Amino acid sequence: MTKKFDLCVIGAGPGGYVSAIRASQLGLKVAIIEANHLGGICLNWGCIPTKALLKSSEVNHLLHHVNEYGFSVKDIQHDFTKIIERSRAVSKKLSQGIAGLMKKNKVEVIEGFAKFLDAKKISISKDGKEIEQVEASYFVVATGARARIINGLEPDGENIWTYREAMTAKKLPKSLIVVGSGAIGCEFASFYRNMGTEVTIVEMAENILPVEDEEISKLARKSFEKQGIKVLTSASLKSLTKNKKGDEISVTAKIEIAGKAEEITAEKVIMAVGIVANIENLGLEKTKVKIEKNQISVNQYLETAEPNIFAIGDVVGAPWLAHKASHEGIIASEKIASKLGKYDAKKVHAIKTQNIPGCTYSMPQIASIGLTEKKAKELGKKVKIGKFPYLANGKAIAMGESEGLIKVIFDEKTGELLGAHLIGAEVTEMIQGFAIAKQAELTEEDLMHTIFPHPTMSEMMHEAVLDAYGKVIHF
């Protein structure tokens, strides 16, 4: 017998499960289909376990610098297996928590792989065999993405890794090449370097973290190199060759920089060259859903060309962020509920990508929102730029974190906050202040008249705003 629902969500990642919960809150009968793990990539193989790893590397870094705080520690050792096990345990605990949330919100969880038979019906299979069919008034496709594979440079799971192997390594490699310097690449480079691995970053673009403000990217590079990370930019990876010497296997990367060939050999290689949307084998060809540039096309309310099918998260394109997917999930569910007469259509809001903050949890942390200085000027904006360094903040100095910068960009004419770009300790927490400011459309006057607590590192946000208008106090 075919099960029937108001909404069926395909994929239980941070977009899918949030969409399911919100729909249930609004009174819809909801099912969620997941082929692998509740919580998706972010919870099981991305955002969460990597933060657990980075915390361990942060502790290791601190232990090697405790003398700066008046302590002495001898014979510092680590158990790499336990570090990996802790990371996996964190993911497992949270995955179980998602199962509890589904039960609490009366969302029916169906394990299996979903495929559209038509716009109103899906087939669910497990181990290649159909287990049931589901009909729904509406669907949300939240199937996420996977690591991008380059032909001729395919990971082998042993010496050439994707993010999965990088976070479940059996032992700490002595040397590592990280190909790609987006958030994933930089976080793994930071983790392994702070654990003692010799790390080289290979980036095709002119700067590492190429989506970030150029000034911030250059500061990140300077910090990474200070930590002993070798950084190669404008570098094209041509080949990866395995070498065997006795029982040991290494990998040699052939790289071209400014027309000159260079070879680097390391124990392991991490391929962090982007992600690809999971759109295959979903039966989308049996619907009106349109695929463009290998991702599902949607409007600002996450609607596809098929009226009853929505899509959210990584499967609809950049920015590939868990919090963006979650927010899209809420928008989609509220839009669907409004179509079913269970939510006020006037309350449904469109996604504003310019208000989505991005975070990189390396050492130092990087966070940003809105336009970069370069992009703002390219758009013809007359801007006012404000900056404030960590070395002028009392709390940062007291914490031993005097390396960093807060940078803000305002529209000279209107006072609109166009962008904010931060590098340094805890900026991934501070960025939310600027996110609220952008969402609330606060001006420079509003921010200048806001009272920030002392002593905090958040005071630097205030000082950066003051600096943009020639009113900075402490620098």
DSSP string of 427-449? HHHHHHHHHHHHHTT-BHHHHHT
Say if CB 205 and CB 199 are below 8 A apart: no
Compute the average pLDDT of residues 234-263: 92
Tokens of 378: 């390219």
Compute the average pLDDT of residues 201-205: 97
Catalytic residue among 64, 65, 454, 474: 454
What CATH fold (topology level) applies to the domain 160-273? FAD/NAD(P)-binding domain (3.50.50)
Sheet strands (E) in 107-167: 108-111, 113-118, 121-126, 129-141, 145-147, 160-161
Mean pLDDT, the chain, as a whole number? 95
Burial class (CB in 10 A: 0-12, 13-18, 19+), 468: buried
Compute the average pLDDT of residues 134-143: 98
Architecture field, domain 364-468: 2-Layer Sandwich (3.30)
Q: What are phi and psi of 34, to 5 degrees?
A: -140, 130
What does the pLDDT look like over 77-89, one tens digit per residue?
999 999 999 999 9
pTM: 0.94
Q: Is 64 a catalytic residue?
A: no
Q: Determine what percent of the chain is predicted with pLDDT higher than 90.
A: 91
Compute the average pLDDT of residues 306-318: 96
Domain 3-147+276-347 CATH class label: alpha beta
Domain boundaries, the chain: 3-147+276-347, 160-273, 364-468
Compute the average pLDDT of residues 283-302: 96
What does the pLDDT look like over 139-191, one tens digit per residue?
999 999 998 999 888 999 899 999 999 999 999 999 999 999 999 999 999 99
The secondary element (H helix, E strand) that includes residue 466 is helix 459-468
Q: Is the pLDDT of residue 41 over 90?
A: no
Query: What is the rounded CA–CA span in Å between residue 158 and residue 431?
Result: 37
Positive/negative CA dihedral, 434, 439, 441, 442: negative
Positive/negative CA dihedral, 465, 469, 472, 475: positive
Query: What is the rounded CA–CA span in Å between residue 148 and residue 154?
Result: 9
> pLDDT value at position 2?
87
pLDDT interval class at 245 (50, 70, 90) = confident
Compute the average pLDDT of residues 256-277: 94
What does the pLDDT look like over 102-118, one tens digit per residue?
999 999 999 999 999 99
Question: Is there a common fold for 160-273 and 364-468?
Answer: no
Q: Is the pLDDT of residue 438 over 80?
A: yes
Q: Determine what percent of the chain is predicted with pLDDT higher than 70.
A: 100
Name which of 1-5, 60-64, 309-313 the model is least confident about: 1-5
